[in-house]
Structure 1
Amino acid sequence: MKRKSIFTLSLLLGTLAFTSCEKSVYDADKQPQKEKTVADLVVPTGFDWKMVKNAQCEITAQSASDVSVYSDQECTENAMLATLRTDNGSLTIPLSLPANSKEAYLQYETVNGKKMVLAATADKDNIVHFTLPQDSKPSSETRAETRNGGSGQISYPNSGWGTVMFEDQFPSLGDYDFNDFVLAYRVQIPFKSYGHKSVIDEAIQLGIELRAMGGSYPYAPYLRLKNLRAEDVEEIEVYQSFYTSVEEVNWFAGPDGEVIMDFRNLVAATSKPSGSSFFNTEKEYLAKDLPQLNIAIYLDDDDVDVNSADFESFDFYLAKADHGTEIHLGGYKPVYDTYPSDNSGLGKDYYYNNKGLIWGLSVPAPIAHVIEKGNFLDAYKDFAAWAMSGGQDKANWYNGEKNNELLIKTQ
Structure 2
Amino acid sequence: MNAKNYLLNMLLVGSSIMMLASCVKNDVYDPDKAPKKTEDLVVPEGFDWKTSQDVTVAMTSPHAASVAVYTDKSCTQQIAELPVAEGKSSITLEVPKANSSIWFEYALASGGKEVMEVPIQKTVTRADAATWAASAIFPDKIDASEANYPNYVYYQPSKNGFGTLMFEDRWPETADYDFNDFVVNYNIKAQGVPTSNYESLDYTNLTVTLKIRAMGGSLPYRFCMQIGHRLATDAAPGTLSETSMEILRKDIIEVTGVKSNFGGGSVELIEGTKYVILALNGFDGLRGINGGSFYNTEKTHLYTGEVPTITFTLKIDEKRHKTENPRRRPFFDGFGAQSAFDYFLQKTDGSNREIHLIDWMPTELYTTYDKDAGATTSAGIYYCSDKRFVWGLKVPEEIAWPVERQDITGVYPKFSEWIERGSDDLVNNVDNIVWYRNQYLTPNANLYIKPW
In the alignment, residue 56 of structure 1 is paired with which amino acid?
T
Deviation beyond 4 Å, 4+ runs, structure 1: 30-35, 87-91, 122-127, 138-141, 192-195, 197-201
Contact 2:66 2:147 (C-alpha < 8 Å) held by counterparts: no
Deviation at residue 103 of structure 1 after TM alignment? 3.8
Contact 1:230 1:252 (C-alpha < 8 Å) held by counterparts: no
TM-aligned CA distance change 1:200 to 1:39, over 3 Å: farther
Contact 2:203 2:317 (C-alpha < 8 Å) held by counterparts: no
* Secondary structure, counterpart of 2:134 in structure 1: strand
In the alignment, residue 76 of structure 1 is paired with which amino acid?
C
Contact 2:64 2:144 (C-alpha < 8 Å) held by counterparts: yes
Q: Distance in 2 between matches of 1:397 and 1:333?
A: 27
Q: 2:333 aligns with which of 307, 311, 328?
A: 307
Matches within 5 A, 1:126-145: 126-139=132-145, 142-143=148-149
Deviation at residue 123 of structure 1 after TM alignment? 7.9
Aligned to 1:354: 386
* Secondary structure, counterpart of 2:433 in structure 1: coil
* Secondary structure, counterpart of 1:108 in structure 2: strand
Aligned to 2:13: none
Contact 1:239 1:296 (C-alpha < 8 Å) held by counterparts: yes
Q: Distance in 2 between matches of 1:193 and 1:93?
A: 18
Cα deviation 1:159-208 (Å, max 9, x = unaligned): 3101110111111112110000111111111136899x985843111111
Aligned to 2:277: 260
* Secondary structure, counterpart of 1:383 in structure 2: helix
* Secondary structure, counterpart of 2:283 in structure 1: helix
TM-aligned CA distance change 1:91 to 1:291, over 3 Å: farther
Aligned to 2:211: 209
1:245 to 2:264 alignment: yes
Aligned to 1:234: 253
Q: Distance in 2 between matches of 1:140 and 1:121?
A: 26
In the alignment, residue 352 of structure 2 is paired with which amino acid?
G
Q: Distance in 2 between matches of 1:271 and 1:121?
A: 43
Q: Distance in 2 between matches of 1:63 and 1:39?
A: 54
Contact 1:107 1:115 (C-alpha < 8 Å) held by counterparts: yes
* Secondary structure, counterpart of 1:257 in structure 2: coil
In the alignment, residue 292 of structure 1 is paired with which amino acid?
T
Deviation at residue 386 of structure 1 after TM alignment? 0.7
Aligned to 1:402: 441
Cα deviation 1:135-159 (Å, max 9, x = unaligned): 123446823xxxxxx4321111123
Aligned to 1:338: 368
TM-aligned CA distance change 1:169 to 1:123, over 3 Å: closer
Deviation at residue 122 of structure 1 after TM alignment? 5.1
Please give the root-mean-square deviation of Cα atoms over the aligned residues, in Å: 3.0
TM-score (norm: length of structure 2): 0.74
Aligned to 2:233: none
TM-aligned CA distance change 1:232 to 1:48, over 3 Å: farther
Contact 1:244 1:292 (C-alpha < 8 Å) held by counterparts: no
Contact 2:378 2:384 (C-alpha < 8 Å) held by counterparts: yes
TM-aligned CA distance change 1:135 to 1:232, over 3 Å: farther
Q: 1:328 aligns with which of 353, 356, 360?
A: 356
Q: Distance in 1 between matches of 2:81 and 2:49?
A: 28
TM-aligned CA distance change 1:358 to 1:186, over 3 Å: same
Deviation at residue 88 of structure 1 after TM alignment? 4.2
Contact 1:103 1:119 (C-alpha < 8 Å) held by counterparts: yes
Q: Distance in 2 between matches of 1:88 and 1:32?
A: 62
Gaps of 5+ in 1: 1-29, 144-149
Cα deviation 1:335-363 (Å, max 9, x = unaligned): 12231436323212111111111010111
In the alignment, residue 128 of structure 1 is paired with which amino acid?
A
Deviation at residue 269 of structure 1 after TM alignment? 4.8
Deviation at residue 375 of structure 1 after TM alignment? 2.5
Matches within 5 A, 1:102-113: 103-110=101-108, 111-113=110-112
Q: Distance in 2 between matches of 1:75 and 1:199?
A: 31
Q: Distance in 2 between matches of 1:199 and 1:308?
A: 14
Cα deviation 1:314-348 (Å, max 9, x = unaligned): 11111212342211101011112231436323212
Deviation at residue 311 of structure 1 after TM alignment? 1.7
Deviation at residue 108 of structure 1 after TM alignment? 2.1
